[in-house]
Chain A
């Protein structure tokens, strides 16, 4: 296939298939470095602090949090939405970009999908732990019972249950199906018996036969077809937790698209945060090139601009609606006691990504890394602004109140960050961070070597 010589190669260096395999599996071989140990120790400590916070929450109740009679959701739901949003990049990359035949996705899809899984696991934790009676949480499943009770299908929270579990299962399947050929490769390269046996089991007897490849490809496409609508539906449903309510600042029809754009926006930011570090630490600069970073930055400009427009639309509609409660809710966001959260959100999500219009900046790794952190923070604050500032001053001023998180809530958030990074650090040790087989499939068409020989 002809590729324009102007087009940047997706894989740098003159590599053959063997080099690719060797280089990508290299971080998995031998003992991990000291930074890996340092990282996982910190991550596990963070995860354990989350464990203590979880225990306190279950034992003493939600009273260990900073919530009150007016504000029923705080950091818990903020974190939930944030983590779900982060997960969206992985699915977007692996499903939508696959369907649109974007070759550059092959370098990043594996790690992005892994991130999706871990993020959904962290996200799923919050709706559970924020329940007042976690031990009776199984009530949310529509299981047959003798008590003649049934779940309420009108409730967006119930939709959430289905959306999140579906999303997790499809993502897991997709990720794992993609892993199978690579697990086969690792199995074949393993020298130790135990390792060979375990990877042998995990590879489901992959032999690399044409029939296997054919089935693998068609299953991948089917799963991509399934996952693609999930990119749009999951966060739409999460947004309905708010949009179907009567609370000013929540009751907004723009929420589904606005949330989906925001989710992809924040997801790409998290992918960038992780990969800019990972490519350096794992010597994968040839595979995850500046070109890849730039492509992701372009998506960030696009989604970031959608988010920005959505923010402004909300303000406009609040004014245009003529509803005093709606108008006050948005005035209060920008100028009320939580004005700082609103302006952190505005700065991080609307202003900073616009700097990526400059090619130099979007190809600057340090700058991109800083902006990606900004976006992570900004998108967390977006959810905080939506959840807390809408609730703390709603209809009756007599019930207005303030919220600040307790140490337990902070512990839970830190705990999920700890779990996320622990899992990610384990992931990079046991599975190839880049999809070897998929890279090979684009090596000839988009690798540097092929082009120069042409």
Chain B
């Protein structure tokens, strides 16, 4: 018989059961008596206690209202807690990058590189990484406005259309001013618009113009294009002031190529040589094997002399030129030796200089090998002359309608004042902009545009290299795409997505050779983000020799002080100035955050009686503090563009001064160099917010380097001490063994160029707080990964070395044993972990970390603290809108706790679980921490040290590998590969 479990005593006791048990059961009558009897003392106390307790709970612990609304019908593609990735494209008129957008719970939170693109090959830059934060910028325009008053799209549409019609009827000129457009569909939209309004003129305007390159190519080759460059194919790269790793044209693509040409980790025996001739110390110059100081104003003379040397050797016609300020004989010889495998580039926006560069490259036979004129970059189509004419026309009242799409000339044109007065002269001024800016504020009609992550678009960076942008989120505000505005005003009611599809179906699909239907073709392209079908190229170029012969090179007074205006890595041309991630990003060279400044050589500062922090007024136009920059050309001062925004939002306003005011138009192109500037001392002193204030390595073996020749002789050169130290690693304690995984990371110092993409990627991935200028001055920045930069050698023109430093995840970590509460421990897989909840903030771990990678939350930077009204948030990062960018997989740390690099433990865990679900082993390279993913130079490798065949194990076995401060026996899980310079013997 089945065993029977009784449910209650009543059930168990038989009806005629013993009376004793029955007694135990309270009978009904008794119950009633209890219920009806007046309450006794016990009950009173019970009730009293309950009442007090519940009242205390109810009144003292106010429960915050949290809205979490579940899906009524769950979309197929969304699994809570799992991120989705959508391929898209970043292009803001200046930078191009093919990307993947990480979307968690409907919100884009991170940008990653798209490895399917053969142009950017999965690389990203700091600006691309930071762009996701602009989506949640509080300075975005939220609704259409007419004359500064909030309005609706219907009103705006009807008013704009009626004005356009009136202008059209009286044949008035309409100007459509855009940045460089690389989207074929957008160009088609503009054509449509032009069809409806035939008096429309489309002008492209680049704030930081490179107009000289297409002009020079037109002159020499009859092709008004910016060519593609192949730094990977060049054995010798000579750059005249072109910051191709930091800001020149396509830094992400060039960095990939450059790093590929200089890797030595897989038995390569060759690496390219890089010579930089420049005035201010640029990111690129600081990576050069040889850096020669040269004023920007003397570039042309130097190029002409170099041309003559090469022409002499090649038997071509020479030109008249004064003598070169630097010796170019050796350079010419070296270039001739690397004929066809060299590359000369120049950063000047001066047509004649660029023509000479074309001549040099032509003589060296670089066209068709390292320079490709037939697959040009569709960048920098801005026409400076047209812009100058436009300003005249505007002020003469010759333009009736002005439509501005994503441009901000009131701020970033040297003659912004006249542009502003010109806007006032028009009958119709429309600005389509997503972020608050100086120009949009002045237009009658303000049409808020989508952020690129909300919009459809396509682009064609090079002929045949297409990529698509798709919305990763529904538009947050009442915004509309630029193209939809134009289509709408042109009377075409199709939405932009249908328009793009139609364009692709008509133009791209037929020529694609794709086997399936258009539907399949579209889906695949959208999935991949890119569609590439390089057009067959004609590789012969015809050179117009007359273009060179006509160049006049005049001698210059070398004693004048000149100013060089440059684009820095973080802020660029200034359109992203309101992005706190970029503002707090230390400059790769000076390590200054939240500012632009006058970079000055120590010798010039001494001559003028200036010190670091002295305020100087330049040409009575702008006042900036002086920063003494080693490696700065004696008589040149450098100023970063993009700062000094007047109307851009809380973060950007009041930071630095506007350098564009010092640029000028030379009748052909915009020049970002000015000779004969006047420097006047101004009152006051200034303190910089720098993340590194000591610049010497003090002779310590922190960054180990060697030269290529020595390396070829002995792969361990520069790193001899590693073996010695390893031999001396004797401990009383048994070394820890790691069963399963043992995570490790390695950084190839030869590949790292210090571009800072990893720093922003890490901040985005790990919710690293922004602390603001004042806290950075106090040395309290929170970055989990930093790039140390040291100078060595000649103080006038020092060599620069860099080293990314993150938590070294020591197997014998000094931080772990000193924590009194065990808040930081070593995991079974060798990761040094922080339990934020356990941390009480003694900061002992921070003191005892030899690498100083631990960061303490000195203030309530994140609004995660329990104490009210003590948030310290200078950049507005804790508002609900901006908090949408937070990564839900990573805890937001409160005031008073230590934090640091976790090797992106959330990413490790995610991939481990994926592998487990799929019942397979983890693949090497599957897990990529945010820094490694973002790196355009592939300098960071992550993997399992227990896996013999993993890339990381190979790196660790490489004779170039060493550990930072390895003599301390901290046993770091992070390794560094020595830096190898290709110096001449």
Contacts and interface: CB of A to CB of B under 8 A. Distances in A.
Contacts of B789: 398
A58 B859 CA distance: 10
Interface string B905-941: 0000000000000000000000000000000000000
B843 A132 contact: yes
Interface stretch (B442-450, B663-671, B694-702): B694-702
Contact of B847 (A140, A155, A245, A401): A245
Q: Which of B695, B700, B805, B820 has the most CB of A within 10 A?
A: B820
B554 interface: no
Interface string A388-421: 0001011111111100000000000000000000
Overall SS of chain B's interface: loop
A189 B712 CA distance: 95
A397 B698 contact: yes
Interface in A133-158: 133-137, 139-140, 149-152, 154-158
Contacts of B867: 58-59
A161 interface: yes
B891 interface: no
A151 B897 contact: no
Contacts of A61: 857-860, 865, 870, 895-896
B850 A396 contact: yes
A265 interface: no
Contacts of A241: 844
Nearest to B867: A59
Interface stretch (B121-129, B202-210, B307-315, B780-788): B780-788
Contacts of A151: 820-822
Contact of B702 (A65, A396, A401): A396
B852 interface: yes
Contacts of B859: 60-61, 63
A62 B820 contact: no
Contacts of A68: 778-780
Interface string A243-276: 0111100000000000000000000000000000
Contacts of B895: 61, 63, 132-133
A445 interface: no
Given A130-B842, A133-B839, A246 B870 contact: no
Contacts of A154: 817-818
B847 A398 contact: no
Given A63-B775, A152-B820, A397-B697, A132 B896 contact: yes
Contacts of A67: 843, 856, 858
Nearest to B869: A59
Contact of B840 (A60, A133, A245, A391): A133
Interface string A147-187: 00111101111100100000000000000000000000000
Contact of B896 (A69, A72, A133, A150): A133
B414 interface: no
Nearest to A325: B700
A66 interface: yes
Contacts of A65: 858
Contacts, number: 176
A157 B780 contact: no
A399 B696 CA distance: 11
Interface of A is mostly: loop
Interface string B410-433: 000000000000000000000000
Which of B699, B805, B821 has the most chain A CB within a 10 Å cutoff?
Answer: B821
B822 A397 contact: no
Given A61-B860, A149-B838, A398 B788 contact: yes
B741 to A, nearest CB: 24
Interface in A211-267: 241, 244-247
A352 interface: no
Nearest to B843: A72
Contacts of B857: 61, 132
Nearest to B817: A154
Contact of B780 (A58, A63, A396): A63
Interface in A97-145: 127, 130-137, 139-140
Interface string B798-820: 00000001000000001001111
Contact of A150 (B822, B851, B858, B898): B822
Given A140-B821, A156-B818, A62 B847 contact: no
Nearest to A403: B779
A324 interface: yes
B838 A397 contact: no
A245 B855 contact: no
A157 B841 contact: no
A153 B244 CA distance: 54
A137 B821 CA distance: 10
Given A132-B857, A324-B700, A72 B694 contact: no
Contact of A157 (B702, B775, B844): B844
B692 interface: yes
Nearest to B780: A68
Nearest to A139: B821
Contacts of A58: 867
A67 B843 CA distance: 10
A377 B970 CA distance: 37
B790 A73 contact: no
Contact of A397 (B694, B850, B851, B866): B694
B151 interface: no
Contacts of B847: 71-73, 245, 247, 391
B852 A399 contact: yes
Nearest to B844: A157
Interface string A66-96: 1111111100000000000000000000000
Contacts of A139: 821, 838, 840
Contacts of A369: none
Given A161-B820, A245-B814, A398 B843 contact: no
Contact of A132 (B820, B848, B856, B872): B856
Nearest to B782: A69
Given A68-B778, A391-B847, A395-B965, A133 B858 contact: no
Contact of B841 (A59, A66, A131, A399): A131
A156 B788 CA distance: 31
A397 to B, nearest CB: 4
A137 B840 contact: yes
A412 B807 CA distance: 33
A328 interface: yes
A72 B897 CA distance: 12
Given A139-B840, A396-B850, A398-B694, A72 B856 contact: yes
B323 interface: no
A152 to B, nearest CB: 4
A59 B848 contact: no
A212 B616 CA distance: 83
A11 to B, nearest CB: 48
A85 B820 CA distance: 22
A140 B822 CA distance: 9
A69 B778 CA distance: 9
Contacts of A150: 822
Nearest to A136: B840
Nearest to A135: B866
B247 interface: no
Nearest to B861: A63
Contacts of A247: 847-848, 850
A73 B698 CA distance: 24
7 contacts: A70-B779, A131-B896, A133-B896, A139-B821, A154-B817, A157-B818, A397-B697
Given A62-B896, A132-B856, A245-B848, 13 more contacts: A60-B870, A61-B870, A62-B841, A69-B852, A73-B844, A132-B839, A133-B841, A152-B820, A155-B844, A245-B814, A398-B692, A398-B790, A400-B694
Pairs of residues from A and B, 7 with the lowest C-beta to C-beta distance, nearest first: A132-B841, A132-B896, A72-B843, A63-B858, A68-B779, A398-B788, A63-B859
Interface of B: 692-700, 702, 775, 778-781, 786, 788-790, 805, 814, 817-822, 838-844, 846-848, 850-852, 854-860, 865-867, 870, 872, 894-898, 964-965, 968, 970
